[in-house]
């Protein structure tokens, strides 16, 4: 199974929704809280090329985007392929 990481903040409703969907689809993930952890913020900046919005979802080191992109991948039947590599 692919390594999935969700960068989020404590006050982001789309972060909550993205994590709920990953839970619903039984996709394990690590969470990086960029509002409270400097190391996570640095990793976030590196892996997302300086993205300014959350959530940002990383699958095997590749940034796929946020909540909208996650749901689009799922609806297009492409998410399972990404996380099962």
For 36-83, write each residue's pLDDT tens digit. Answer: 999 999 999 999 988 999 999 999 999 999 999 999 999 999 998 888
What string of H, E and C letters represents the secondary structure of the chain?
A: CCCEEEEECCCCHHHHHHHHHHHHCCCCCEEEECCCCHHHHHHHHHHCCCCCCCCEEEECCEEEECHHHHHHHHHCCCHHHHHCC
User: Which architecture characterizes domain 4-83 according to CATH?
Assistant: 3-Layer(aba) Sandwich (3.40)
At 1, the pLDDT band (50, 70, 90 cuts) reads low
Instruction: Answer yes or no: are the C-beta atoms of 8 and 15 closer than 8 Å.
Output: yes
Domain ranges of the chain: 4-83
Tokens of residue 8, six digits:
């989020």
Chain mean position to CA 72? 13
Total-model pTM: 0.92
């Amino acid at each position: 199974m692919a390594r999935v990481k969700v960068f989020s903040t404590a006050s982001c409703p789309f972060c909550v929704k993205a994590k709920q969907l990953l839970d619903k689809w039984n996709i394990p993930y690590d969470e990086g809280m960029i509002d409270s952890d400097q190391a996570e913020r640095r990793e976030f900046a590196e892996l997302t090329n300086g993205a300014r919005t959350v959530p940002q979802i990383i699958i095997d080191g590749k940034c796929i985007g946020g909540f909208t992109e996650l749901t689009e991948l799922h609806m297009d039947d492409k998410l399972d392929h990404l996380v099962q590599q």
